[in-house]
Amino acid sequence: MQDERRILTGWGRTSHARTRAVSPASEAEVAGALAAPAGRLIAFGGGRSYGDAALNDGGDTLLTGALNRILSVDEASGVLVCEPGVTFRELIDRFLDRGWVAPVSPGTAFATIGGAVANDVHGKNHDRAGSFGDHVLWLDLLAPDGRLLRLSSRENVELFRATIGGIGLTGVILKIAFAMKRVSSSFVTVREARAGNLDALMAALRAARAQSTYTVAWIDATATGRSLGRGILEAAEHAEAGFPARPARRALRLPVDFPDFALNPLSIGLFNQLYYRRVPAAGRARTLPFDAFLYPLDALLDWNRMYGRRGFYQFQCVIPEAEADRGIRALLETIAASRSASFLAVLKTLGSAGRGFLSFPFPGFTLALDFPARAKTPELMARLERLTLDHGGRVYLAKDACLSSEGFRRMYPQLPHYEAVLHEIDPMGRLRSDMARRLRIGDA
């Protein structure tokens, strides 16, 4: 088992951890890593959590990259069993052209399946498919005391619910079984339409979610006045069979950090103006490879470097349906007034609540966007946290680096159930992370 001293960061590059990193390749080696002293270990997958959920400054980090085998797949039922380090990219490359896709995927294919469970990720089809945890049939978990446990909706049910969305604190996942989804083609047909303001965009999303499998909207978070919340709706369906093979995937790499002045209100505003007009006023339909639609940012590797060495924060919240119109408007007004937003802003609808005690989704609208790290950015994030609470919403832990422990407890009402399971499965507190310490998880 490899063992080295490293500095790890979240994808936003604002959270850092000096850590002893170990890379186990077997169950026995994972068990050896779990024998570390209390408070010393957290698992780290693809490094795509934006903040400190998978960081453990001063402690040990278990890298799952060598635990990356696909153990079995049933091409009749689509049930796949894999280790936690398998990525969505590997699933796309191996199975998409054979007519199978993951039932739910986050916005990057470089996330791992273990991370998908630990964060109960959602995608552009949440209204129809729910979050990833809804499709997990069972998990094999190596508990902090070394026991190997099978978790499912029938076995160790409370621990199952604590592990789905549980940000890696219940144990180390060794195997995941989930059902893949059969698709007719490796292409999708995408309909794009402009919406001139927030009311029009939210109405278009509500209409599209009732008809389309995949829905998402890019939103201009810099727009103000009558144009506040303008954006572009995308609704997609899998194309019919008969398309040629997908073209070879090509990705560029951002080789350097942008200077801090590159992303400023002028350049970001100009980008948003041009991006809004890339779709004709009458709308359009396009046929795209499925992975190009699902993972547009993966076309530029290391895109997080465009925010410079200081990095960026991502804010993502969900506002319940009854408060969504008022809440999303209040958030966008605050963001536009701050002149801090970037060009990466997304609005989606979410369907049913997740299975996990700390699952993020519930029915409503979710807004996600980036803010370059500046002196006043944490103050803005605190204001957005308060607005989210005022409208009954919650912040997504996979994207977070700033949430207060008080706000966290108000946003996640099932936290006491989660902490009760955590105290039972890990009374010595062997598994901890910087996020767990910041949010004071398990301190009661």
Q: Judge contact between 368 and 315, C-beta under 8 A.
A: yes
pLDDT value of position 243: 62
- Write down the domain spans for the chain: 187-408
Question: Which strands make up the sheet holding 364-372, listed edge to edge?
Answer: 284-289, 187-195, 231-238, 214-219, 345-350, 364-372, 312-320, 394-395
Output Rg (C-alpha) for the chain, integer angstroms.
21
Query: pLDDT band for position 38 (50/70/90)?
Result: low
For residues 88 and 204, what is the distance between their CA atoms, to the nearest angstrom?
Answer: 29
Kindly tell me if the per-residue pLDDT of 37 is higher than 80: no
Q: What is the pLDDT of residues 248-291, one digit of tens each?
A: 778 889 899 998 878 888 888 888 888 889 999 999 999 999 99
Looking at the chain, the whole-number percentage of residues with pLDDT higher than 90 is 86
pLDDT, tens digit, for every residue of 208-256? 999 999 999 999 999 999 999 999 999 999 998 766 667 777 888 989 9
Q: What is the mean pLDDT of residues 375-403?
A: 97
398, 315 in Cβ contact below 8 A? no
pTM of the entire predicted model? 0.95
* Position 138 pLDDT exceeds 90: yes
- Note the CATH number of domain 187-408: 3.40.462.10
Span 97-126, mean pLDDT? 97
In this structure, are residues 220 and 272 in contact, taking their beta carbons and an 8 Å threshold?
yes
